[in-house]
């Protein structure tokens, strides 16, 4: 072998050796398809805790990348990690791990395992940011964690069947997670929480998901705000949870036979304020809720503005705008167990002789027609008929079938800013 060839081989060996000890010397490892380290898994195994791994652009066909040490894994030029349908792609089992700047695709599907692009288990202080997760079963799956951050990711898939699609961002048994600035499209649930405490869910866009844009289960405390939930099977479901703050969200165009802007079930001591409900089948559906304040919301052009069941008690609808909804309030109770006060109702035809901005006669938001279609749904075809309008007018003057005590005693004459 010639001296130049020996020198070339020696240079290559030295380079590889330096890269292998890079975590100790420099705290950084580079992965590239044309470099000495071509595998993300290999780089992760070589790295020491605290190292930074930079993955250069290209397509890496890898799955089951196990991270069991605190490292920063950063994509340069949006490298693609293709799991080739083999299941989990990144598996995080160490505290203080960051994964950023990757396009992650093709987990494959399973009816017995929740295969995810990134699964994070029994750790704390992780950061998942600026990734594109495409054509996967589950997107980002979090289980038994503390203080994680999931931000500015795009998660998208394309299965139109609820049974064979997974959740975009799935959190189970997590404390103090922050989920913000993400876009989730075409999953089963866009964002799913179960047994999560004090979540901070904000500035996300969740659309065209097969079931819910956001699904909140057995999760106390926390808040979700400034999110948009549009064109989902149903907008948001909050169930079996207490002390949840829901504010400044947009619930738009969630249409269908069982679609809601916001579904509340077994909720207590919570607040719904400053939200916009626009063109949903039902804007707010309430079942077995109590001590919830619904105030300062804008509810416009929905099928039903509010559908509140008889087992919902002590809730307060105060200072909301109800504008051009097909039906304002629907209930199955002959009595009123909640408070409606100081709302603006575009259907109100009362007067204000003392000009204080408040109607001089109460407004009864439950129409006779809503009672009829509660018992005979097929009657909905008569919604715009003159006959129904006459019946509703007569019922409001002298209530017989609608709840006598369900009224807004202080209806506002003008829209509330």
Give the model confidence (pLDDT) of 226-277 as tens digits: 999 999 999 999 999 999 999 999 999 998 777 899 999 999 999 999 999 9
pLDDT at 392: 55
> Which letter, b or e, does each residue of 93-113 get, where b requires 16 or more Cβ atoms within 10 Å of its Cβ?
ebbbbbbbbbbbbbbbbeeee
Q: Which residue has the tokens 């804007």?
A: 283
pLDDT of residue 25: 41
The secondary element (H helix, E strand) that includes residue 322 is strand 321-323
Burial bucket for residue 304 (CB in 10 Å: 0-12, 13-18, 19+): buried
Q: What is the pLDDT of residues 269-318, one digit of tens each?
A: 999 999 999 999 999 999 999 999 999 999 999 999 999 999 999 999 99
Structural domain of residue 83, as residue ranges? 1-157
Spatial separation of the C-alpha atoms in residues 148 and 165, rounded to whole Å: 24
Stronger pLDDT, 105 or 258, i.e. the higher one: 105
Closest CA to 56 of 29, 95, 82, 93: 29
Q: Judge whether 22 lies within some domain.
A: yes
Q: Which residues pair with 92 in a beta bridge?
A: 67, 120
Coil, strand or helix: which one is 395? Answer: helix
Q: What is the pLDDT at residue 405? A: 80
CA distances 24 to 12, 17, 165, 338, 351, Å, are 20, 12, 43, 65, 79
Give CA–CA dist 245/226, Å, rounded.
Answer: 12
**What 8-state DSSP symbol labels residue 157?**
-
pLDDT of residue 288: 96
* Candidate ranges 111-125, 330-344, 400-414; pick with highest mean pLDDT: 111-125
Q: Is the pLDDT of residue 142 over 50?
A: yes
With respect to residue 363, please indicate whether it lies within any of the assigned structural domains.
no
pLDDT above 70 (res 26): no
Distance CA 375, CA 154 (A): 44
Please tell me the predicted confidence (pLDDT) of residue 159. Answer: 87
Q: Would you say residue 201 has pLDDT above 50? A: yes
Helix axes 368-375, 386-397, angle to 10 degrees: 110
The answer to the question of residue 33 being in a domain is yes
| 387 or 336, greater pLDDT | 336
Residue 258 belongs to some domain of the structure: no
CA 310 – CA 112 distance, rounded (Å) = 39
Residue 369, classed as helix, strand or coil, is: helix
* pLDDT band at residue 18 using 50, 70 and 90 as cut-offs: very low
pLDDT, position 161: 84
139-148, 159-168, 207-216, 285-294: the lowest-pLDDT one: 159-168
- CA distances, 73 to each of 76, 82, 98, 112, 279 (Å): 10, 16, 6, 29, 42
Q: How far apart are the first and last CA of the chain?
A: 85
- 381 has a pLDDT exceeding 60: no
Cα dist from 125 to 95, 146, 151, 388, whole Å: 6, 6, 13, 59
β-strand partners of 273: 247, 295
102 lies in a domain?
Answer: yes
In a domain, 7, yes or no: yes
Give the integer Cα–Cα distance in Å for 47 and 236: 42
Over range 336-359, report the average pLDDT: 94
Number of H helices, E strands in the chain: 5, 38
pLDDT at 334: 77
Is the pLDDT assigned to residue 383 strictly greater than 90? no
pLDDT at 385 > cutoff 80:
no
Locate tokens 């509660």: which residue?
Answer: 374
Of 36-50, 123-137, 323-337, 359-373, which gets the smallest average pLDDT?
A: 359-373
Say how many domains are in the chain. 1
Q: Is 48 part of a structural domain of the chain?
A: yes
Band (333; pLDDT cuts 50, 70, 90): confident
Read off the pLDDT band of 100 (50, 70, 90).
very high
Q: What angle do CA 304, 309, 315 make, to 5 degrees?
A: 90
Residue 21: inside a domain, yes or no?
yes
pLDDT on residue 336: 86
Band of residue 393 on the pLDDT scale cut at 50, 70, 90: low
């Amino acid at each position: 072998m010639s001296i130049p060839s020996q020198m070339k081989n020696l240079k290559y060996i030295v380079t590889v050796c330096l890269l292998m000890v890079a975590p100790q010397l420099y705290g950084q490892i580079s992965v590239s398809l044309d470099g000495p380290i071509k595998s993300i898994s290999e780089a992760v195994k070589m790295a020491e805790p605290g190292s930074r791994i930079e993955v250069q652009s290209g397509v890496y066909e890898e799955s089951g990348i196990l991270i069991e040490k605190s490292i920063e894994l950063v994509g340069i030029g949006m490298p693609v990690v293709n799991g080739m349908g083999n299941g989990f792609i990144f598996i995080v089992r160490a505290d203080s791990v960051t994964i950023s700047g990757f396009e992650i695709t093709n987990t494959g599907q399973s009816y017995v395992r929740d295969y995810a692009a990134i699964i994070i288990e029994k750790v704390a202080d992780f950061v998942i940011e600026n990734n594109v997760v495409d054509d996967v079963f589950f997107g980002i799956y979090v289980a038994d964690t503390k203080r994680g951050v999931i931000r500015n990711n795009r998660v998208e898939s394309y299965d139109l069947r609820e049974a064979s699609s997974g959740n975009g961002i799935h959190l189970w048994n997590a404390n103090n997670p922050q989920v913000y600035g993400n876009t989730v499209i075409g999953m089963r649930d866009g964002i799913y929480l179960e047994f999560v405490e004090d979540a901070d869910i904000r500035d996300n866009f969740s659309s065209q998901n097969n079931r819910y844009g956001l699904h909140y289960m057995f999760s106390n405390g926390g808040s979700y705000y400034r999110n948009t939930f549009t064109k989902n099977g149903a907008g948001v479901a909050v169930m079996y949870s207490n002390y949840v703050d829901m504010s400044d969200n947009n619930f738009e165009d969630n249409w269908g036979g069982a679609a809601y802007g916001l579904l509340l079930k077994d909720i207590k001591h919570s607040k719904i304020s400053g939200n916009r409900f626009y063109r949903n089948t039902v804007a707010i559906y309430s079942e077995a809720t109590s001590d919830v304040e619904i105030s300062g919301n804008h509810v416009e052009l929905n099928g039903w503005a509010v559908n509140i069941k008889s087992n919902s008690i002590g809730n307060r609808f105060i200072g909301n705008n109800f504008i051009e909804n097909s039906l304002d309030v629907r209930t199955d109770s002959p009595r009123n167990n909640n408070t409606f006060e100081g709302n603006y109702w575009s259907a109100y035809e009362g007067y204000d002789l003392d000009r204080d901005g408040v109607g001089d006669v109460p407004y009864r938001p439950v129409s006779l027609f809503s009672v009829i279609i509660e018992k005979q749904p097929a009657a909905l075809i008569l919604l715009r008929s003159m006959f129904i309008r006459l019946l509703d007018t007569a019922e409001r003057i002298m209530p017989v079938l609608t709840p006598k005590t369900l009224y807004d005693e202080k209806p506002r004459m003008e829209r509330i800013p």
